[in-house]
Structure 1
Amino acid sequence: MTKRPNEKNERTKRDFLNYRKHAKQLSEKTLDREVAALERFDVWNGRKDFAKFHIDWAMGFRAHLEQAKTAHGKPLGKSTQRAIIATLREFVIWLSQQDGFRRRIRVADAEYFRLSLRDEAEARAAPERPAPSIKQAQRALATMPEENPRDLRDKAIFALLCLTGIRVGALITLKIKHVDLEDKSVTQNPREVATKRGKSIVTFFSKGFKEAEEVLGKWMAYLDEAALYSPDDPLFPATALEAEGTDGFKVSGFQRRNWTTTEPVRRLVNAAFKNAGLEAFGPHSFRHMLSRHVARNCNSVAELVATSQNLGHTDVLTTLRSYGHINRDDQRRLVTGEESDELIE
């Protein structure tokens, strides 16, 4: 049976999380993961007073994580173990500098919260993420209906993802003025668009998606000519619902505001791929799709760098490590200059 929370430990965890939030400026999503990591350690350790910390706790907890299972009964992934361990390491470093703890805990004690070199390498290895091919995205876009304004909006969302690979959090906060069809660009101003880490990003339309440009243009023309939206109105307004007697709610046009959650975008993207008879990829998969396509087909380093900037990456290595995975057949073709027998057949 799990012991009741230790009040002193709870106050200490709260102080640490306030430090991480306000001094380190971590996002709420990251803080949630750190809360879970601290709670996991605290429960495993029987709620013992943090002030009595000993390096045996760190070594024991590492062993515990190696044997731990997920909710589905599978072993914890190395990257998950690494994230949990990293939080505990930061926590112990912070503790070593706090009144009431510094006599007992040293900065060096935090070093015991580390994976083995082998496990660290495995945790850092970027897994191949599922992503559609350019042809699959084109097919899914072509099969999406345009029977009403809501269909057209959803198809325009899919089109913009094809063209830019924009992060879904930024997409739902775009205003009409941020898209320039003539310049084929999207200006992600962090003062108005929810960009990652508040970066200013200018993204241009990727080549090969002429039909996506047409869909986006048709939607923006509807907003301007039929809906009479202004440049400061949302590019993708939220769906409006109205009560329908005792039968619940029905769709009733749009609300002149942005969505407050990314879930509607995830649902419509999943549905678009499924309806085209394909795997249900998510919005983030477009970033993998575009970067992999360029990694396999670019003719210069400059083209790769331009794609990296287009995705909002500060360092081109981020693009290569996280998105630029080359499969076995492409690796063989690029290195040897020969097609594999399977491809030739």
Structure 2
Amino acid sequence: MSRRPNEQNERIKRQFLDYRKFARQLSEKSLDKELSALERFDVWNGRKDFARFHIEWAMEFRTFLEQFKSTTGKPLGKSTTRAILATLREFVLWLSQQDGFRSRIKPSDADYFKLSRRDEAEARAAPPRPAPSINQAKHALSLLPDRTPCELRDKAVFALLCLTGIRVAALISLRVKHVDLVERSITQNPREVATKFGKSIDTFFMKNFEEAESVLAQWIRHLDQEMLFGPDDPLFPATAIIAQANTGFKADGFKRRPWRSTEPVRKIVNDAFSQASLPTFGPHSFRHMLARHAANSSTSIAELVANSQNLGHTSVLTTLQSYGQISRERQRELITGRKPDE
């Protein structure tokens, strides 16, 4: 049975998280992960006072993580282990600067929360990230029905992902006014759109995807002419559900508010690929699709930079290293000058 939380430790954890939130400006999602890492360490250590910290705790905890097995028998991934240790490293470094701890904890003690060089390299290595091809996305889009308003909305969601690779949190917070069909653009104003790190992003539609533009335009016309939505109304309103006496619940038009979570978008995308008899990619895979397409088709550095900015990346290296992996077949073709069938 686990021990009850240590009151002093809990107070210190809260102070650290306040520092990370307001001084380091971490998001709530990141803070939740850091709290989870601190709690994992605290429970493993039997709730001992942080004031008694010794470097042996760090070394033993690292061994514990390396040997940990989940209920399914799987070990922790190297990237997960690295993230947990990184939180503990930041915590101990911060602790060494606090009154009452300076004489007991040295800044260098934080260095013991590190992976081996080999494991660090493995943790940093970009894992394979499955993504659809442009043709697969077009095929899935063409099979989506649009007979009802709900079906048209869902198809427009898929179409916008094809055109822009917009992050799903930003997508569900878009308003009608953020879309400019003439300029073929999406304005992601951080005051109104949930962009990553609150960045302002101007995103333009991918070329040669006219069918997706047509679907999006049809949906916006429906919002304007049939639903009488204005510029400040949500681009993708949530479905209104009503109760029925005998058959439970059914969809009944739309609410004048966006979805409260990203789950409906994930279901739309998964179902679209599944119905097309393709692997069930998620919404984020469109970003990989567009980045890889740019890496393979761009004819200049400027074009690569433009595609990187379109995805909202600060650096083109982010696009190439995290999203633009080249397949083994394409690598072979570029290096040897021979196509796969040669």
TM-score (norm 1): 0.97
CA distance in 2, matches of 1:88, 1:315: 28
* Residues 1:37 and 2:34 aligned together: no
* Residues 1:230 and 2:230 aligned together: yes
CA distance in 2, matches of 1:282, 1:259: 17
CA distance in 1, matches of 2:335, 2:216: 39
Cα deviation for residue 237 of structure 1 reads 0.7
* Residues 1:137 and 2:137 aligned together: yes
Task: Read off the aligned partner of 1:191 and give its amino acid letter.
Answer: R
Worse-superposed segment, 126-135 or 17-26: 17-26
Evaluate the alpha carbon distance shift between residue 8 and residue 126 of structure 1 in structure 2; reply closer, same or farther with a 3 A threshold: same
Give the equivalent residue in structure 1 for 2:298: 298
Give the equivalent residue in structure 2 for 1:324: 324
TM-score (norm 2): 0.98
Cα deviation for residue 70 of structure 1 reads 3.1
Cα deviation for residue 71 of structure 1 reads 4.1
* Residues 1:176 and 2:171 aligned together: no
Give the equivalent residue in structure 2 for 1:148: 148
* Residues 1:314 and 2:291 aligned together: no
* Residues 1:270 and 2:270 aligned together: yes
Task: Read off the aligned partner of 1:268 and give its amino acid letter.
Answer: I
CA distance in 1, matches of 2:68, 2:232: 50
Task: Read off the aligned partner of 2:332 and give its amino acid letter.
Answer: R
CA distance in 1, matches of 2:155, 2:94: 49
Give the equivalent residue in structure 2 for 1:81: 81
* Overall identity of the aligned pairs, in %: 68
Give CA deviations for 1:94-130 in whole Å, capped at 9, x if unaligned: 1111122111011111011111111111111111111
SS in 2 for 1:172: helix
Cα deviation for residue 246 of structure 1 reads 5.5
CA distance in 2, matches of 1:313, 1:25: 19
CA distance in 1, matches of 2:208, 2:64: 50
Give the equivalent residue in structure 2 for 1:55: 55
CA distance in 2, matches of 1:103, 1:244: 68
Gapped regions of structure 2 (runs ≥ 5): none
Q: How does 1:18-29 map to 2 (within 5 A)?
A: 18-29=18-29
Task: Read off the aligned partner of 2:306 and give its amino acid letter.
Answer: A
Gapped regions of structure 1 (runs ≥ 5): none
Give the equivalent residue in structure 2 for 1:283: 283
Number of residue pairs the alignment of both structures matches: 342
* Residues 1:260 and 2:268 aligned together: no
SS in 1 for 2:251: strand
Evaluate the alpha carbon distance shift between residue 93 and residue 204 of structure 1 in structure 2; reply closer, same or farther with a 3 A threshold: same
CA distance in 2, matches of 1:261, 1:161: 17
Task: Read off the aligned partner of 1:261 and give its amino acid letter.
Answer: S
Cα deviation for residue 255 of structure 1 reads 0.4
CA distance in 2, matches of 1:89, 1:319: 28
CA distance in 2, matches of 1:323, 1:127: 10
